[in-house]
């Protein structure tokens, strides 16, 4: 069934229950404000510490926006882009778009004005909905992007080149539009992370979205009583599709702005969160804050917190070992997926398999996997090859990019570009991105393996490994190492620690610097290659 049916079902069963809470820890006002109070007494964009809405209000807001869109001629198959920071308005807008039969097109909040324009044109977007943080970027391109599309603004002090979302929706019907949808109807366009240039537009239908709900709930057993803490940006499949498991059962979700340890623990304690999805850097920061004494666990009520899970990037086993020392009663899980496979869960470790930490797991609920060589033939267990996925959550295509689609979708399989290996028990270990493999002296070196090793050193907060030009070997490994706050570390220490690695895997160059990561926690290796890619620059960095 189309995913909008879940919202209608939640309204019937749990209409007056809280659906969403928004917390902004940077604002110190603690007054609780419901959505109706907010509308009556406050401007359209405010920064109250805490806001909340019920399922009834969630649905009413979605319906009002759907009816506004339809009054402006939006019809089945049109596209509406969302450029907002996480807020209470985000998800009602998303579902309002889906209720019209149009496609929701979430945009990365880090996009430059040029990237925004590129994505709007690639996805053939008809309407852009944006927030106050993006006024400057939209204004830079408004002359070109407003010629054939409408601009709706969510916030106070609406700029002259846009229309006021709040004023417009206040006069629209709160009744659900009568639009018939099927599983095969297009639902959303998401964008790839763009680590190899401008992003690709990834088209999904309603079956894909619905499957992600079932996968997440099957893997983590959400019930109505669970409270999900959502920290990552909602434009990304990872955050939203993990929330889909709670959405399916009518559970409450908390949208937290910010990633610092204290606000995270405050939110878990105050809102009684039981499920928290973290990225590796945030989990690392929490552990480091505990070790430094910046936060004390006894100051929080965390007894209801049952599950911590991580995805979007390889997870160092050393991190989970540290986590279990601090939180011995937590269930732990990791998921693997791509935006092309509607986010998390295509491969799933499972809370019962913590003894396999380091693996991404086995095929998730409703999914199939295989690992193939360069000719597309399945490799034997223990051999490295490209991971391929098959299931109801695979994208329809790369929108407006036939060539890329044909390169990625072959005979019903999604070729992920990730190199992986299956062990004797059938568990899959992610080795590296195909494009990130370093070939040094004829040996294939997988940076993830070295990164995980380096992160086990007590002074290392984070590590990234790239290949740099080498006259003799073709490529050599360079390790960019981020040291924990308040600590000092030398190149000699890292070299001494690395003696435990086979000689060909030991980093040949070491640089101490911060590790750039995108909003979903993935290391931005193109940036590192740009900074450190030249051998002369590497030499200069090491000497400097």
Cα radius of gyration rounded to whole Å, the chain:
24
pLDDT at 344: 85
Q: Which of 35-44, 207-216, 249-258, 401-410 has the lowest mean pLDDT?
A: 35-44
> Residues near 400 by Cβ (< 8 Å), separated by ≥ 6?
122, 123, 124, 201
Q: What is the pLDDT of residues 175-185, one digit of tens each?
A: 999 999 999 99
The yes-or-no verdict on residue 539 having pLDDT over 70 is: no
Segment holding 461, helix H or strand E: strand 460-470
> Residues near 344 by Cβ (< 8 Å), separated by ≥ 6?
212, 215, 216, 237, 238, 241, 242, 311, 312, 335, 336, 337
The tokens for 79 are 């596209």
How many CB atoms neighbour CB 328 within 10 A?
7
pLDDT at 41: 40
Looking at the chain, the whole-number percentage of residues with pLDDT higher than 90 is 67
Q: What is the pLDDT of residues 289-346, one digit of tens each?
A: 999 999 999 999 999 999 999 876 667 788 899 999 999 999 999 988 889 999 889 9
The yes-or-no verdict on residue 51 having pLDDT over 90 is: yes
Pick the CATH number of 55-206 from 3.40.50.1100, 3.40.50.720, 3.40.50.12780, 3.10.20.30: 3.40.50.12780
What are the DSSP E strand ranges found in 48-157?
50-54, 79-83, 103-106, 127-130, 150-153
**Parallel, antiparallel or unpaired: strands 18-23 and 50-54:** antiparallel
Half-sphere exposure (Cβ direction) of 125: Cα atoms closer than 13 Å: 30
Taking alpha carbons only, the member of 114, 231, 137, 216 closest to residue 521 is 231
> Residues near 330 by Cβ (< 8 Å), separated by ≥ 6?
305, 306, 307, 308, 323, 324
Q: What is the dihedral of CA 479, 194, 346, 9, to 10 degrees?
A: 140
pLDDT at 312: 65
Confidence of residue 168 (pLDDT cuts 50, 70, 90): very high
Interhelix angle 55-71/4-14, nearest 10 degrees: 140
Segment holding 282, helix H or strand E: helix 280-292
Mean pLDDT across the stretch 34-42? 42
Instruction: List the beta bridge partners of residue 227.
Output: 252
The yes-or-no verdict on residue 396 having pLDDT over 60 is: yes
Domain boundaries, the chain: 55-206, 437-543
Q: In a 3-state reduction of DSSP, which class is residue 94?
A: helix
The yes-or-no verdict on residue 45 having pLDDT over 90 is: no
pLDDT at 538: 45
Confidence of residue 494 (pLDDT cuts 50, 70, 90): very high
pLDDT at 525: 82
Contact 96, 102 (CB under 8 A): no
Q: What is the pLDDT of residues 133-145, one digit of tens each?
A: 999 999 999 999 9
Task: Tell me which CATH code domain 437-543 carries.
Answer: 3.30.300.30
Confidence of residue 437 (pLDDT cuts 50, 70, 90): confident
Locus of tokens 């994505």 = 119
- Of residues 73 and 473, the one with the higher pLDDT is 73
Mean pLDDT across the stretch 219-227? 96
Q: How far is CA 363 from CA 212, 352, 370, in A?
A: 14, 15, 9
- Of residues 310 and 267, the one with the higher pLDDT is 267
d(CA 150, CA 78): 12
The yes-or-no verdict on residue 443 having pLDDT over 70 is: no
Mean pLDDT across the stretch 17-32? 74
Mean pLDDT across the stretch 467-480? 81
């Amino acid at each position: 069934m189309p995913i909008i049916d879940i919202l209608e079902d939640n309204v019937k069963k749990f209409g007056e229950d809280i659906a969403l809470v928004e917390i902004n820890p940077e604002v110190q006002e603690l007054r609780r404000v419901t959505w109706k109070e907010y509308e009556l007494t406050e401007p359209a964009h405010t920064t109250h510490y805490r806001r909340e809405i019920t399922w009834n209000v969630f649905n009413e807001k979605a319906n009002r926006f759907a009816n506004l869109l339809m009054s402006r001629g939006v019809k089945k198959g049109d596209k509406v882009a969302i450029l907002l920071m996480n807020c209470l308005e985000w998800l009602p807008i998303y579902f309002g778009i889906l209720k019209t039969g149009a496609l929701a097109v979430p945009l990365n909040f880090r996009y430059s004005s040029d990237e925004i324009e590129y994505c709007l044109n690639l996805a053939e977007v008809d309407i852009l909905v944006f927030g106050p943080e993006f006024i400057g970027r939209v204004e830079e391109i408004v002359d070109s992007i407003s010629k054939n599309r409408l601009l709706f603004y969510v916030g106070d002090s609406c700029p002259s080149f846009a229309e006021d979302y709040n004023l417009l929706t206040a006069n629209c019907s709160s009744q659900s539009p009568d639009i018939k949808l099927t599983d095969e109807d297009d639902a959303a366009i998401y964008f790839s992370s763009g680590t190899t240039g401008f992003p690709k537009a990834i088209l999904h239908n309603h079956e894909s979205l619905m499957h992600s709900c079932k996968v997440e709930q099957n893997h983590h057993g959400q019930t109505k009583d669970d409270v999900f803490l959502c920290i990552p940006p909602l434009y990304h499949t990872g955050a939203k599709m993990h929330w889909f498991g709670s959405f399916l059962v009518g559970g409450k979700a908390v949208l937290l702005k910010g990633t610092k340890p204290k606000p995270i623990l405050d939110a878990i304690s105050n809102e009684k969160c039981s499920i928290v999805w973290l990225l590796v850097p945030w989990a690392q920061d929490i552990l480091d804050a505990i070790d430094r004494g910046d936060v004390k666990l006894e100051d929080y009520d965390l007894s209801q917190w049952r599950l911590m899970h991580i995805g979007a990037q390889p997870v160092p086993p050393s991190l989970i070992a540290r986590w279990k020392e601090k939180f011995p009663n937590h269930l732990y899980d990791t998921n693997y997926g791509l935006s092309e496979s509607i986010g998390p869960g295509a491969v799933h470790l499972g809370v019962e398999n913590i003894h396999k930490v380091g693996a991404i797991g086995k095929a998730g609920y409703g999914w199939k996997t295989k690992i193939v060589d360069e000719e597309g033939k399945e490799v034997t267990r223990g051999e490295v090859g490209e991971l391929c996925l098959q299931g109801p959550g695979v994208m329809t295509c790369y929108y407006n990019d036939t060539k890329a689609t044909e390169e990625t979708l072959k005979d019903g399989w999604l070729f992920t570009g990730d190199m992986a290996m299956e062990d004797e028990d059938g568990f899959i270990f992610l080795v590296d991105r195909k494009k990130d493999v370093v070939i040094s002296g004829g040996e294939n070196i997988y940076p993830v393996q070295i990164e995980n090793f380096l992160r086990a050193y007590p002074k290392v907060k984070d590590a990234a490994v790239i290949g740099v030009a080498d006259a003799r070997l073709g490529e050599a490994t360079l390790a960019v190492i981020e040291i924990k706050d308040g600590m000092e570390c030398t190149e000699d220490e890292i070299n001494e620690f690395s003696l435990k690695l086979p000689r060909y895997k030991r980093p040949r160059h070491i640089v101490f610097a911060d590790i750039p990561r995108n909003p979903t926690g993935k290391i931005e290796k193109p940036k590192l290659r740009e900074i450190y890619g030249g051998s002369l620059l590497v030499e200069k960095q090491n000497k400097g």
